[in-house]
Structure 1
């Protein structure tokens, strides 16, 4: 009985460890993992497993901005079993990353984007033991080419973070409850009077939408958007499109 009481407050309790096939992924990509559950000092009933795709989001408050954890997507494995002391049980898992998963692998600038998968156990009368696995998220071809176009047009990436909220334009909107902002500034005086450009992406299976916030010296802030079809990604054409939107 004493061991069961200790396990109920997380002492000597079962542990969970998620082993990913790879931590290097793209938004919307399928991934596989093995969830290792190891028994503690006493037998425990496992009611299920929960996994969550997590990030840190910036929230604007009355006293300034601050960061909180945000669930982009969550999954539940309704597998019930009893884990014996010292026993290890392996549960296979497969899922697809949310298409709006922010990008972590960026070159240059202050990168405040972090993505991880958190795994927890449902244990009767117990605290949730959990495991955190950080991911490396790479841009799709459309996003990568858009970033190359910004570089070619003379803009440097200075900061990337994830904001709490939703994006909305005339023909698309986001659904994950957060969005990434890539902040660019001109390397030299901009011919368009642009002081800052912020890009946010809403990928779909066959296209990627881009919401662009422009901060101009004389006209203030404004929004424009474009859609990149995945079978028509072209650096030269994208440079021309962006130049027309910035003018």
Structure 2
């Protein structure tokens, strides 16, 4: 991992010049947490999850944490990668060094993963201080968010290799916005019609949200392994696709 780490270090140094943009990505889910969890939560009161009544803010907080991991990973693996790939031609220069396409994929995905992890850890701290995290098992939500970030970073970078212009970035929002709104983030899965429940359960963010929610509530059970397996396969497919696409674009 020494060679991918060199690319991560390069990104870390570059981030010092756009630190405000880096930090700003953390605040969106925090704003949603307090607007929805506290504001609307005062009207909603509590919701029922697996037969237990919990405050609405406690229900929303883990969903926003999973979203933080997704956002941090997606932002870096799409816009930043597209600029380096199509405009600055950075990766052409990188390939003149000992780094190969796999190293580029691993380095960029690791950096996007790190960004998502920072957002998630900071969000967990804010939510815990606000009293929205009822269990110490929530610490396991950090590695869970790492897996979420890995999946979205890998698939996001693979999708970026197909983009032709900045206009194609709209497709990224078209993909992640519905997931953000309808992955059991703001209301339980049971509120959907049965036919739509299957659609929701097919999305990667739903699995991330349900996994993180269970961990923050201390609700550990064997069914969580299904979420872990889904996200692991999602990540593996993204890594494989990214490596192949980067190699095809830069070595031909």
Which structure is richer in relative contact order (CA contacts within 8 A, separation 6 or more)?
2
Of Structure 1 and Structure 2, the greater helix share is in 2
TM-score category (smaller protein): under 0.3
Instruction: Provide the TM-score with structure 1 as the length reference.
Output: 0.26
Instruction: Provide the TM-score with structure 2 as the length reference.
Output: 0.26
Structure of larger gyration radius: 1
